[in-house]
Amino acid sequence: SGCVGSSDLSASVSVPVIDLGLLPSSKDEQGKLKLALCSGGCFQAIGHGISNSFLNKVRGVAEQFSQLLQEEKQKYSRAANQVEGYGYDLVVSEKQWYVICSDLTLSRRTVSYELNSCREVLHEYSIKLKQLVDLLFKAMAKSLALEENSFSDQFGDNPVMHVRFNFYPPCTRPDKVLGLKRHSDRSWITVLLQDEQVEGLQFVKDEKWITVPVIPHVLVVKLGDQMQIMSNGIFKSPVHRVVTNTDKLRISVAMFNEVEPEKEIRPVEGLIDENRPRLYRNVKIYASFNYECFQKGKVSLEEVKFHA
């Protein structure tokens, strides 16, 4: 389905705003964080310590790539069955083809393309976000009365960070075409820098689609499936999608954080008891497992549920 009608949107539900600068010392802010992650798994982050000018620079390299000629973009095309590189999705509607989303995906360790300015900016951005997510995981553990390394102990020595520049061109039929269909992220956490002006991201809460508003220089934080597994289902991995816009290009920059591929993840023992039995089994290489489920039309979180 395409863009939903207003009757399907909840105007009364807002997206929580969390001040990351207060998290280490404020019980109230930790409580707000826990509520946000237990109820919807998504919030807007302020107090993240990244300057407005630098966030503009991150958007700038994304815009720079989006303005390249298609022939130039194709030089960075991703290989078959690979994550990194340039690619795009097409959908046919009423005998017309639409590019619904093109993207450039790079990893923190292998940004080695000829896009020098892109490489430099992304390297610095990944370092800043690494500090941000480290702070978040400690606060998330504390909010559940756990040792602060209870989640990070499962990440491994070489956790993965991928950045994805998403480009959603104008679409003449937003009622028929989605920018990105409904899904949940396979990551443990995703940090999104939205377009400065154009909305599009929606997530499901209380069986309604909620639009995440655009707030300049605020980062959107979404939990992924890996964190829902590690939290034994206490924290949620939100189902979300992107709708298209009639006359404006939308650009977003998503940083996906995942555990080391060969590392086995499992629910934290401290979150399992008689009142809350274990919900998920141990799983390795969740990224591949998630992809296989997606291809088969299955929901990976359902497939990894523990059956005693």
Domain boundaries, the chain: 17-304
Percent of the chain whose pLDDT exceeds 90: 43
> What band does 262 get if pLDDT is binned at 50, 70 and 90?
confident
Cα three-residue angle 238-123-259, rounded to 5 degrees: 40
Taking 50 as the threshold, does the pLDDT of residue 279 lie above it? yes
The class (CATH top level) of 17-304 is: mainly beta
Asked if 267 contacts 230 with a C-beta cutoff of 8 angstroms, the reply is: yes
Residue range 245-261: mean pLDDT, rounded: 89
Tell me phi and psi for residue 74, to 5 degrees.
-65, -20
Asked if 266 contacts 230 with a C-beta cutoff of 8 angstroms, the reply is: yes
Q: Could you tell me the two tokens for 162? A: 């991928």
Residue range 24-31: mean pLDDT, rounded: 92
Taking 80 as the threshold, does the pLDDT of residue 113 lie above it? no
- The whole-model pTM stands at 0.88
DSSP SS3 for 278: coil
Q: How many residues does the chain have?
A: 308
Q: Could you tell me the two tokens for 290? A: 């998630």
Asked if 183 contacts 225 with a C-beta cutoff of 8 angstroms, the reply is: no
272, exposed or middle or buried, with CB in 10 Å at 0-12, 13-18, 19+?
middle
CA distance 42 to 171: 27
Q: Which helix (H) or strand (E) holds 289?
A: helix 286-295
- Least confident range from 102-111, 219-228, 241-250: namely 102-111
Percent of the chain whose pLDDT exceeds 70: 86
Residues sharing a CB contact under 8 Å with residue 44, sequence separation 6 or more, in sequence order? 15, 16, 17, 18, 212, 215, 218, 219, 220, 221
Sheet of strand 208-211, all strands in order from the earlier edge strand to the far edge: 178-183, 240-243, 201-205, 208-211
Taking 70 as the threshold, does the pLDDT of residue 188 lie above it? yes
Other CB atoms within a 10 A radius of the CB of residue 263 amount to 17
Comparing CA positions, the residue from 282, 101, 291 lying closest to residue 185 is: 291
CA distance 284 to 136: 23
**What is the gyration radius of the CA atoms in the chain, in angstroms?**
19
For the segment 47-95, what is each residue's pLDDT rounded down to a tens digit? 999 999 999 999 998 888 888 888 888 888 877 766 777 887 665 555 4
Per-residue confidence (pLDDT) for residue 7, from 0 to 100: 36
Taking 50 as the threshold, does the pLDDT of residue 4 lie above it? no
